[in-house]
Amino acid sequence: MNDLKNFLSETEYKNLINDIQIIHTKKTLIHSITNYVAINFSANALLSIGASPVMSRAPEEVAQMTSYADALVLNLGTPEEQSLKAMLIAGKAANEKGIPIVYDPVAVGATSFRREFNRKLLNDVRVSIIRGNASEILALCDEHKITTGVDTYDQGEIAVEGAKTLAVKIETIIIISGKTDYIINVKEVRCLNLGDDMMSKVTAMGCATDGIVAAFAAVNQNMFHAACNAMVLCGYAGQMAAAKSQGNGSMMINFLDELYNTTVSIKI
């Protein structure tokens, strides 16, 4: 991980290492109700960093499964009656247990069906971290009638301005993924220029990132620091993987390898 030091302060680097060591030691269990496209890749990404994945989505068992977990991922990617019911049950179980929830509002602005469920979820469940791209975060801001009043910003900048207000309103950390990643809480914004454009050519890269964010949230009580550490690791692994990839197929494999090789070298 020596090259990673170039992107972090000494304190940030030590905090990242500490989180990774705990993930490896605890074999942090992450319960993900994610979309069908993402299940395999997300599970492998979690295994690559030393965490343990479980992907239960049956409403009859998700509350009990969540009670065993260290963090929960809720992903809106392929919504259907059973999975949405399971998300609400699991989310409430996570709140009762006090474990962190990472929510990915995939394409939340695309249909009224998604928007209606999103409203219910955020009304009934307290989420710790929301991660989405700029358009998804803008859609959330529109749901909450948040505007920036500035017309000269690009989409990413507008999303950041809206997310600052949204983070206060719903008391959560917001991650905006893109060419530049932004991590936002009520007091500050962290910008990360890591990663590579090739990451956007791999299906479920964002969904896999959700799981990694959840793993860090499970071991670090400061959700802002947890989100930053996770996004640094994902961006760094993506950058290193792209440098040796011939296309998006090898990129997928190389990303998993980079996650593994970056984290296994410093485990306890």
Residue keyed to tokens 């990129």: 251
Tens digit of each residue's pLDDT, the chain (268 residues): 447 777 788 999 999 999 999 999 999 999 999 999 999 999 999 999 999 999 999 999 999 999 999 999 999 999 999 999 999 999 999 999 999 999 999 999 999 999 999 999 999 999 999 999 998 999 998 776 554 444 434 466 778 888 998 999 999 999 999 888 999 998 899 999 998 999 999 999 999 999 999 999 999 999 999 999 999 999 999 999 999 999 999 999 999 999 999 998 765 4
Those residues with Cβ within 8 angstroms of residue 123's Cβ, 6 or more apart along the chain or in another chain = none
Q: Determine contact, residues 98/126, Cβ cutoff 8 Å.
A: no
**pTM of the entire structure?**
0.93
The fourth-level CATH superfamily of domain 2-264 is Ribokinase (3.40.1190.20)
Is 110 labeled as ligand-binding?
Answer: no
Task: Consult the annotation and say whether 204 binds a ligand.
Answer: yes
Query: Which pLDDT belongs to residue 199?
Result: 93
Instruction: Tell me the CB-side half-sphere exposure of residue 106, using CA atoms within 13 A.
Output: 21
55 is in an annotated binding site: yes
User: What is the pLDDT at residue 267?
Assistant: 53
Does residue 160 contact residue 182 with C-beta atoms inside 8 Å?
Answer: yes
CA-nearest of 224, 242, 135, 219 to 173 is 224
